Chain A
Amino acid sequence: MSPQELVNSLRSFLPAEAVLHETEDLKPYECDGLSAYRQLPMIVVLPRNEEQIAKILQLCYATKTPVVARGAGTGLSGGALPHAQGVLLSLAKLNQIIAVDSLARTARVQPGVRNLAISEAVRPYGLYYAPDPSSQIACSIGGNVAENSGGVHCLKYGLTVHNILKLRVLTIGGECLEIGGESLDSAGYDLLALMTGSEGMLGIVTEITVKLIPIPEKAQLVMAAFDDVQKAGNAVANVIGAGIIPAGMEMMDKITIHAVEEFLHAGYDLDAEAILLCESDGSTEEVADEIQRIYAIMQQSGATKISTSRNEAERLSFWAGRKAAFPAAGRVSPDYYCMDGTIPRKHLADVLRGIEKLSQQYGLRCMNVFHAGDGNLHPLILYDANQPGELEKTEEFGGKILEMCIHSGGTITGEHGVGMEKINQMCEQFGAGELEMFHAVKAAFDPVGLLNPGKAVPALHRCAELGAMHVHRGEEKFAELPRF
Chain B
Amino acid sequence: MQTIIDQYKTIIREAAEHKIPLQIRGGGTKYFYGSSPIEQSNLWLDATAYNGIIDYEPTELVITARAGTCLADLEAALDQHGQMLAFEPPHFGAAATLGGCVAAGLSGPRRAAAGSVRDFVLGVRLLDGKGEDLHFGGQVMKNVAGYDVSRLMVGSMGTLGVLLEVSLKVLPKPVAEITLCMEMNEAMAIEKMNQWAGKPLPISATCYTGGELFLRLSGAESAVRAAQLKLGGEELGEGGAFWQSVREQTHDFFQSGKPLWRLSIKSTTPGLPLSGLQLIEWSGSLRWLIGNAGINAKTIRTTAKDAGGHATLFRNHESYIPVFHPLDPGMMKIHRALKEKFDPSGIFNPGRLYPEI
Contacts and interface: CB of A to CB of B under 8 A. Distances in A.
A52 B308 CA distance: 26
Interface stretch (A4-12, A37-45, A343-351, A392-400): A343-351
A121 to B, nearest CB: 15
A243 interface: yes
A438 interface: yes
B285 interface: yes
Interface stretch (B22-30, B208-216, B331-339): B331-339
Interface string B259-297: 000001111100000000000001001100000000000
Contacts of B308: 181-183
Interface stretch (B34-42, B177-185, B193-201): B193-201
Interface in B103-122: 105, 111-112, 115-116, 118-119
A183 B152 contact: no
B164 interface: no
A201 B146 CA distance: 11
B60 A282 contact: no
Contacts of A376: 141-142
A240 B81 CA distance: 11
A183 B59 contact: no
Contacts of B223: 282-283, 285-286, 289
Given A191-B331, A193-B118, A193-B151, A457 B198 contact: no
A76 to B, nearest CB: 12
Nearest to B111: A184
Contacts of B341: 437, 440-441, 443-444
Contact of A443 (B58, B83, B337): B337
Contacts of B268: 101, 103-104
Contacts of B136: 434, 437
Interface stretch (A15-23, A214-222, A352-360, A465-473): A214-222
Given A183-B310, A184-B264, A189-B156, A429 B145 contact: yes
A346 B59 contact: yes
A106 to B, nearest CB: 8
Nearest to B334: A444
A414 B326 CA distance: 35
A102 interface: yes
Given A187-B325, A283-B223, A158 B115 contact: yes
Interface string B15-54: 0000000000000000000000000000000000000000
A147 to B, nearest CB: 6
A161 B337 CA distance: 23
B327 interface: yes
Contact of B145 (A154, A198, A426): A426
Contacts of B318: none
Interface residues of A, number: 97
Interface stretch (B69-77, B127-135, B246-254): B127-135
Contact of A181 (B143, B202, B309): B309
B222 A190 contact: no
Interface string A285-306: 1101110000000000000000
A452 interface: no
A414 B143 contact: yes
A460 to B, nearest CB: 14
A374 B136 CA distance: 19
B165 to A, nearest CB: 14
B324 interface: yes
A285 B222 contact: yes
A348 to B, nearest CB: 11
A120 interface: no
A28 interface: no
B325 A286 contact: no
A187 B141 contact: no
A404 interface: no
A183 B285 contact: yes
Contacts of A159: 142
B239 interface: no
B147 A415 contact: no
Contacts of B330: 171, 175-177
Contacts of A319: none
B142 A346 contact: no
B220 A186 contact: no
A125 interface: yes
Contacts, number: 272
Contacts of A344: 57, 60, 62, 139-140
Contacts of B112: 184
Interface centre among B119, B219, B223 (most CB of A within 10 A): B223
Contacts of B335: 188-189
B155 interface: yes
A412 interface: yes
Interface in A402-439: 409-418, 422, 426, 429-431, 433-434, 437-438
A374 B116 CA distance: 19
A189 B338 contact: yes
B175 interface: yes
A450 to B, nearest CB: 16
A267 B173 CA distance: 36
Contacts of A457: 146
Nearest to A101: B268
A345 B327 CA distance: 42
Interface in B143-179: 143-149, 151-152, 154-156, 160, 171-173, 175
A82 interface: no
Contacts of A409: 138-140
A155 B226 CA distance: 25
A413 B69 CA distance: 30
Given A184-B285, A243-B173, A161 B202 contact: no
A475 B136 CA distance: 28
Contacts of B197: 105, 214
B240 interface: no
A131 to B, nearest CB: 11
A415 B222 contact: no
Contact of B155 (A189, A282, A415): A189
Given A155-B141, A190-B155, A376-B142, A285 B220 contact: yes
B63 interface: no
Given A161-B151, A283-B200, A283-B201, 13 more contacts: A103-B191, A127-B198, A154-B142, A158-B115, A177-B334, A190-B105, A241-B58, A288-B222, A345-B60, A413-B145, A431-B134, A437-B149, A445-B334
13 contacts: A103-B191, A105-B198, A185-B105, A187-B324, A189-B338, A190-B155, A193-B118, A237-B60, A243-B173, A344-B139, A344-B140, A411-B144, A431-B135
Nearest first, the 8 A-B pairs at minimum CB distance are A182-B308, A183-B309, A193-B151, A243-B172, A444-B337, A414-B142, A440-B341, A286-B223
Interface of B: 57-62, 82-83, 105, 111-112, 115-116, 118-119, 128, 132-136, 138-149, 151-152, 154-156, 160, 171-173, 175, 191, 194-195, 197-202, 219-223, 225-227, 264-268, 282, 285-286, 307-310, 312, 324-328, 330-331, 334-335, 337-338, 340-342, 353-354
